[in-house]
Amino acid sequence: MPKSRELAQANLETLYRIFTVPVAPESTLGEIDKAITDDLTGFLQQHIVAVERDLDEIEGDFSQSRIPEEPTYVSDYTDFLKEKLVSQSVHTASPGFIGHMTSALPYFMLPLSRILTALNQNLVKVETSRAFTPMERQVLAMIHRLIYAQSDEFYREWIQNNRYALGAFCSGGTIANVTALWAARNRLCGPSGDFKGIAREGLVKALRHLDCQGLAVLVSRRGHYSLGKAADVLGIGRDNLIAVDTDGNNRIDLVRLREQCARLKGEGIRPLAIIGIGGTTETGNVDPLEALADLAGELGCHFHVDAAWGGPTLFSDRYRGLLRGIERADSVTIDAHKQLYVPMGAGMVLFKDPATLSSIEHHAAYIIRRGSRDLGSRTLEGSRPGMAMLVHAGLSIIGRKGYELLINQGIERARRFARLIDAHSEFELVSEPELNILTYRYLPSWAQQVLAEAVPERRAQINEILDKVIETMQKRQREAGKTFVSRTRLAPGRYGGDTITVFRVVLANPLTTDDILSAVLEEECEIASQPDIQAMLEQIKG
Amino acid sequence: MPKSRELAQANLETLYRIFTVPVAPESTLGEIDKAITDDLTGFLQQHIVAVERDLDEIEGDFSQSRIPEEPTYVSDYTDFLKEKLVSQSVHTASPGFIGHMTSALPYFMLPLSRILTALNQNLVKVETSRAFTPMERQVLAMIHRLIYAQSDEFYREWIQNNRYALGAFCSGGTIANVTALWAARNRLCGPSGDFKGIAREGLVKALRHLDCQGLAVLVSRRGHYSLGKAADVLGIGRDNLIAVDTDGNNRIDLVRLREQCARLKGEGIRPLAIIGIGGTTETGNVDPLEALADLAGELGCHFHVDAAWGGPTLFSDRYRGLLRGIERADSVTIDAHKQLYVPMGAGMVLFKDPATLSSIEHHAAYIIRRGSRDLGSRTLEGSRPGMAMLVHAGLSIIGRKGYELLINQGIERARRFARLIDAHSEFELVSEPELNILTYRYLPSWAQQVLAEAVPERRAQINEILDKVIETMQKRQREAGKTFVSRTRLAPGRYGGDTITVFRVVLANPLTTDDILSAVLEEECEIASQPDIQAMLEQIKG
């Protein structure tokens, strides 16, 4: 091992070397790097161990709080990394891991990511990003067009118009949602007369100016938890994030929504925004966006669509109708690290009106000056990497038709999986897939019958037993390391008000085959046959 | 070129291929990838062009708003990227680019970044991050210890205690500052009696509960612009971010600060936080942190230190005293993508008390459940990448002593550059470097004399002429592409209240030599000799 080429001791010469001398290809790190380049899937399969070590044990490897005094050889460090970190990572790209929203990455993303890292541009300002700035604006325009389909003329006017923005890039959907509501709040409470606007005077004076008791944001109970954070951060308060009941398909109940609006009016609370969900995180359902757009119009409030997950459904000619009404949204969140298949850390928020983001515009003396092209004057974040390049690469290399195939595949695979679950005597489909997400639970047909005949009180008891069963099964499946589904809690109409624990499946990895889906159910049946779980199930017969 | 191995047409088979077949090494992308691996500096120097193309022209390359219908060959796309994007990027790592905070990266960061991308972990929850979660906690503990130097026992108790957090990782210093003030705000306005806390009830009811008219944050005029965004987002209002005047060394004026506190008290406005700056972005100065800690203690308010830039000075035994008092801060922001030399997109906020972040704790049904180890329950962001791994790598490979050398070098190089400027008859040092940042301007000695003798009105006129000179020179230097300094506006005491435009220099790139610094000044003298600039200078003689 050519340790001489690595940092051996803390002196200036070796310090310069780590900034100028590449890692030797024949070093441990060079070898790992080459293995990833040559065969990512193989590398992950080989090095990520099949069976989980206990988390407490792993924590033991990361229990030292002192920064090492002396430098370490790169190769020694890489050995540590391989043994203690890589081997204990989660194989997020595995086609049998269908419980989360991280899929496999297209291969070209890896070398392109290296270019991105090597260029190390900072998108806050043109001075440190040059061509990346217009490229990011182009990507935002492309996604804007995918959603809003404005005219050629519209995009010619706005795509590179630095006094306005069609949207903002950010680290993920949470910052995108916060940005959307921040802009909506500042627009509602903009400067007028003596009032200098909420950005300057703050929320208390803004409400006094608007002559109301508070602001509210309305979304269904299936709204993403980031909206609660947004309500908290923005000073609105979580109690004013109104969680509206859903119908049997996890879509917002419009009657209840109108009731809530009436109640708020009575209390002098002004609706800031109505949020429609374009693919709920837990069940993949889509709210009736047209009706929500109508209501937002009536109330004169902002209409935001959280399409962090489902937005890319717009690529599909066959299924884009599922998001009908999204083009009427004032703002839309889309995550690129989900169904655009770019690595972690890329979200976007698009605004129908290029002037909306002006409500959060800000400047400084040394960068993002007035009149500059610096993107940082209309983003919540400051310094940030050029992740837009990877979105640009995906859109260019995979193309609209390629993404369409990926979307169609996922939705159709989810439907087939739903039929498989339906046909299986030991499972119950809980939520029918509308996009590519579904939920189900372990429920042998005999138990299903007992449940159907039980009085409400007994039904609730049985569901509690089943919750314990599902939770135990999900943990065991995860620990076995072969396949993975996640779990959540839902209140499907069929069990009165009972909230139950369910398995959750996300089908976005193109490498997931129908055979793998069958194997997931088989493994779950095996787990269910373990004595302690059988004992739990026996209690249902009680 | 083996185009057959790349995505040729939109059918399922080729689609699977891009997820499973690596990019061929002999393809354009493979070649670029290899060139970066073999010689990053050479690659950047060769491909990033010396002379800037006009930004309007570059925008022309990114003016198409339609997403391409058909897929593209990876190699064709890479050719495009090389010609239109890479060639027009900014050589942020160039040792002659001393105007921004992005330095060269240590070589090992590139292959390690690839491992990070390939693993594509999501740090929001253990389910998709496993070993990365305890690693991130360890990194936070290490930086916590660097700042607060608590006992072994303290860190044993908290480092992996999932019910608390020593800090939060985030995409950058802005989110770190927002998180610090968010936690401070929610702690000040926590639940008490009938009041359920600001997180639930919002800011208006919180202020009613506290019986005050508003909240204020106090920081010097040199505070980073992200603090204005934080005041805006959090509902406090930018007018309540009190910009306190500074002394002649760009440090907060303590008398003025106390005056402002007294004024706020009179108006019924409660100080939420005092912010000390550990290295101002524009001048690298450090506020008197001890005195600020004393005052925050008196007022019973939160004391935050924005050490996004200067925090790593703590690595240096010789210079850590410059940050004396930082260990009394309730929270500290540090950017890893600045002086920890990791790629763009890594910030941290540390909290002295592991319970502070509990004030923003949140949960959901499908992840970040109560009692889980999921880091996402105490971060503003949701899904995010495992950038902590690169910080861990830097701390391990470079070591405390390695970082100490980097810090010492930068500070000492800045001092030498200051003497070079002082000794030069055509320049004026505007701010003496305290850390590794300084400002200066072009001011030939004859003009310096005219200025010294001018009455205030004429002085202001001359300074305006000089502003124009500096602005023009800075743009020309940037456009020439050889070296780069940035510019900002400051009000140094020596010119009464006049705000002047200055060159700003940041010396964190270990590859920047004293010869390069001389070359920067030489180039500026050459630019100053151009006829139109000479004509501007003539007006000073007026």
Does a structural domain hold residue A202?
Answer: yes
What residue in B sits closest to A182 (Cα-Cα)? B233
What residue in A sits closest to B176 (Cα-Cα)? A381
Tell me the per-residue pLDDT of B171-195, one tens digit each, with 9 for 90 and over: 999 999 999 999 999 999 999 999 9
> For residue B51, what pLDDT is reported?
59
Q: Among all chains, which residue has been given the structure tokens 């088989």?
A: A522
Q: Which H or E run includes A229?
A: helix A226-233
Residue B7 confidence class, pLDDT cut points 50, 70, 90: very low
Angle between helices A456-480 and A531-541 (to 10 degrees): 170
Cross-chain CB nearest to B106 (options A19, A138, A239): A19
Cross-chain CB nearest to A126 (options B55, B70, B368): B55
- Residue B86 per-residue DSSP state: G
Under the phi-then-psi rule, with left for phi > 0, alpha for psi from -120 to 50, and beta for the rest, what region is B292?
alpha
Say whether residue A39 is in contact with chain B using an 8 A CB cutoff: yes
> For residue A33, what pLDDT is reported?
86
As a three-state string, the secondary structure of A150-183 is: CCHHHHHHHCCCCCCCCEEEECCHHHHHHHHHHH
Biggest distance spanned by C-alpha atoms of chain A: 79
Cross-chain CB nearest to B389 (options A85, A99, A117): A85
Query: How many domains does chain B fold into?
Result: 3
Residue B9 confidence class, pLDDT cut points 50, 70, 90: very low
Is A177 within 8 Å of A170 (Cβ atoms)?
no
Give the integer Cα–Cα distance in Å for A308 and A337.
Answer: 9
Give the integer Cα–Cα distance in Å for B230 and B214.
Answer: 15
Give the integer Cα–Cα distance in Å for B441 and B433.
Answer: 14
Under the phi-then-psi rule, with left for phi > 0, alpha for psi from -120 to 50, and beta for the rest, what region is A130?
left
Same structural domain for residues A417 and A393?
no
Residue B20 confidence class, pLDDT cut points 50, 70, 90: confident
Chain B residues lying within 8 Å of A102, measured CB to CB: 120, 122, 128
Mutate one of A94, A117, A470 to test the B interface: name it (highest B CB count within 10 A): A117
Same structural domain for residues A420 and A446?
yes
Does a structural domain hold residue A13?
Answer: yes
Give the integer Cα–Cα distance in Å for A222 and A227.
Answer: 11
Cross-chain CB nearest to A226 (options B62, B229, B382): B382
Residue A453: CB atoms within 10 A of its CB come to 8
Tell me the per-residue pLDDT of B112-168, one tens digit each, with 9 for 90 and over: 999 999 999 999 999 999 999 999 999 999 999 999 999 999 999 999 999 999 999
Chain A residues lying within 8 Å of B388, measured CB to CB: none
DSSP-assigned states of every residue in A318-373: TTGGGGTTGGG-SEEEEETTTTT-PPSS-EEEEESSTTGGGGG----SSSS-TT--
B122: its two tokens: 């999501």
> For residue A52, what pLDDT is reported?
67
Does a structural domain hold residue A176?
Answer: yes
Q: Are strands B269-277 and B214-220 parallel, antiparallel or unpaired?
A: parallel
Same structural domain for residues B449 and B376?
no
Q: Do A115 and B160 touch (CB under 8 A)?
A: no
Q: Do B156 and A337 touch (CB under 8 A)?
A: no
Q: The CATH number of the domain where B141 resides is what?
A: 3.40.640.10
Q: How many CA atoms lie within 13 A of A329 on its CB side?
A: 32
Tell me the per-residue pLDDT of B391-448, one tens digit each, with 9 for 90 and over: 999 999 999 999 999 999 999 999 999 999 999 999 999 999 999 999 999 999 999 9
Q: Do B344 and A121 touch (CB under 8 A)?
A: yes
Same structural domain for residues A66 and A186?
no
Q: Do A106 and B19 touch (CB under 8 A)?
A: yes
Under the phi-then-psi rule, with left for phi > 0, alpha for psi from -120 to 50, and beta for the rest, what region is A211?
left
- Residue A50 distance to chain B (closest CA, Å): 13
Residue B408: CB atoms within 10 A of its CB come to 18
Same structural domain for residues B438 and B468?
yes
Say whether residue A176 is in contact with chain B using an 8 A CB cutoff: no
Q: How many CA atoms lie within 13 A of A115 on its CB side?
A: 28
**A361: phi then psi, degrees, rounded to nearest 5:** -65, 140
As a three-state string, the secondary structure of B241-260 is: EEEECECCCCCECHHHHHHH
What residue in A sits closest to B367 (Cα-Cα)? A488
Q: Do A11 and B90 touch (CB under 8 A)?
A: no
Same structural domain for residues B352 and B331?
yes
Alpha carbon dihedral A345, A346, A347, A352, in 10-degree steps, equals: 160
Does a structural domain hold residue A109?
Answer: no
A60: its two tokens: 């033991």
**Of residues A1 and B466, more confidently modeled:** B466
pLDDT above 80: residue B1: no
Tell me the per-residue pLDDT of A410-429, one tens digit each, with 9 for 90 and over: 999 999 999 999 999 999 99
What residue in B sits closest to A82 (Cα-Cα)? B115
Q: Do A343 and B85 touch (CB under 8 A)?
A: no
H helix intervals, B441-482: 445-453, 456-480
Same structural domain for residues A445 and A501?
yes
Lowest-confidence segment of A247-261, B37-51, B380-394 by average pLDDT:
B37-51
Q: Among all chains, which residue has been given the structure tokens 């070589």?
A: B107
CA-CA distances (angstroms) from residue B115 to A78, A195, A282? 11, 52, 30
Residue A14: CB atoms within 10 A of its CB come to 18
Sites in chain A below the pLDDT cut of 50:
1-10
> For residue A4, what pLDDT is reported?
39
Chain A residues lying within 8 Å of B385, measured CB to CB: 343-345
Chain B residues lying within 8 Å of A21, measured CB to CB: 107
Q: What is the mean pLDDT of chain B?
A: 94
Of A47, A484, A28, A476, the C-alpha closest to B131 is A47
Q: Do B100 and A122 touch (CB under 8 A)?
A: yes
Say whether residue A453 is in contact with chain B using an 8 A CB cutoff: no
Does a structural domain hold residue A134?
Answer: yes
Q: Which residues contact B7 (CB under 8 A, 6 or more apart)?
A: A397, A398, A402, B14, B15, B17, B18, B71, B72, B73, B74
CA B449 to chain centre: 37
Domain range spanning residue B391? Answer: 118-397
Same structural domain for residues A495 and A366?
no
> For residue A49, what pLDDT is reported?
67
Does a structural domain hold residue A95?
Answer: no
- Residue B231 distance to chain A (closest CA, Å): 8
As a three-state string, the secondary structure of B373-433 is: CCHHHHCCCCCCCCCHHHHHHHHHHCHHHHHHHHHHHHHHHHHHHHHHHHHCCCEEEEECC
Give the integer Cα–Cα distance in Å for A517 and A528.
Answer: 17
Give the B window 65-124 contacts with A, CB below 8 Å: 65-74, 77, 80-81, 84-90, 92-93, 99-102, 104-115, 117-122
- Residue A269 distance to chain B (closest CA, Å): 12
> For residue A174, what pLDDT is reported?
98
Cross-chain CB nearest to A385 (options B19, B343, B490): B343
Residues, chain A:
542
What residue in B sits closest to A91 (Cα-Cα)? B119
Q: Do A396 and B68 touch (CB under 8 A)?
A: yes
Chain A residues lying within 8 Å of B337, measured CB to CB: 383
Q: How many CA atoms lie within 13 A of A48 on its CB side?
A: 26
Is A263 within 8 Å of A242 (Cβ atoms)?
no
- β-bridge partners, A60: none
H helix intervals, B160-305: 173-188, 198-201, 203-210, 226-233, 254-266, 289-299
Chain A residues lying within 8 Å of B486, measured CB to CB: 127, 366-367
Chain B residues lying within 8 Å of A120, measured CB to CB: 92-93, 102, 105, 343-344
Q: Which residues contact A233 (CB under 8 A, 6 or more apart)?
A: A178, B178, B182, B233, B234, B380
> For residue B15, what pLDDT is reported?
75
Same structural domain for residues A339 and A429?
no
B460: its two tokens: 């202001």
Q: Which of A371, A397, A423 is the last residue of a domain?
A: A397
Q: Do B237 and A207 touch (CB under 8 A)?
A: no
DSSP-assigned states of every residue in B132-173: HHHHHHHHHHHHHHHHH---HHHHHHHTT-TTS-SEEEESSH
CA A18 to chain centre: 36
B137: its two tokens: 């906690």
Chain B residues lying within 8 Å of A491, measured CB to CB: none
Q: Which of B343, B372, B397 is the last residue of a domain?
A: B397
- β-bridge partners, B501: B489
Same structural domain for residues B383 and B495?
no
Say whether residue B444 is in contact with chain A using an 8 A CB cutoff: no
CA A102 to chain centre: 9
A421: its two tokens: 């679950």
Is A147 within 8 Å of A198 (Cβ atoms)?
no
Tell me the per-residue pLDDT of B262-304, one tens digit each, with 9 for 90 and over: 999 999 999 999 999 999 999 999 999 999 999 999 999 999 9
Say whether residue A355 is in contact with chain B using an 8 A CB cutoff: no
Q: The CATH number of the domain where B454 resides is what?
A: 3.90.1150.10
Of B235, B420, B481, B51, the C-alpha closest to A234 is B235
Q: Do B107 and A20 touch (CB under 8 A)?
A: yes
Q: How many CB pairs under 8 A join A and B?
A: 562
Does a structural domain hold residue A106?
Answer: no
Does a structural domain hold residue A113?
Answer: no
Say whether residue A488 is in contact with chain B using an 8 A CB cutoff: yes
Say whether residue A40 is in contact with chain B using an 8 A CB cutoff: yes
Say whether residue B188 is in contact with chain A using an 8 A CB cutoff: no
Say whether residue B478 is in contact with chain A using an 8 A CB cutoff: yes
Of B479, B495, B493, B497, the C-alpha closest to B443 is B495
What residue in A sits closest to B484 (Cα-Cα)? A127
Chain A residues lying within 8 Å of B141, measured CB to CB: 65
ipTM of predicted assembly, 2 dp:
0.96
Q: Which residues contact A165 (CB under 8 A, 6 or more apart)?
A: A137, A140, A351, A354, A357, A375, A378
Is B169 within 8 Å of B136 (Cβ atoms)?
yes
Same structural domain for residues A388 and A486?
no
Give the A window 119-148 contacts with B, CB below 8 Å: 119-122, 126-132, 134-135, 137-138, 141-142, 144-146
Say whether residue B297 is in contact with chain A using an 8 A CB cutoff: no
Same structural domain for residues A384 and A413?
no
Q: Do B204 and A201 touch (CB under 8 A)?
A: no
Chain B residues lying within 8 Å of A89, measured CB to CB: 119, 121, 129-132
A97: its two tokens: 């891991």
Is A95 within 8 Å of A103 (Cβ atoms)?
no
Q: Which of B380, B397, B414 is the last residue of a domain?
A: B397
> For residue A25, what pLDDT is reported?
83
**Percentage of residues in chain B with pLDDT exceeding 70?**
97
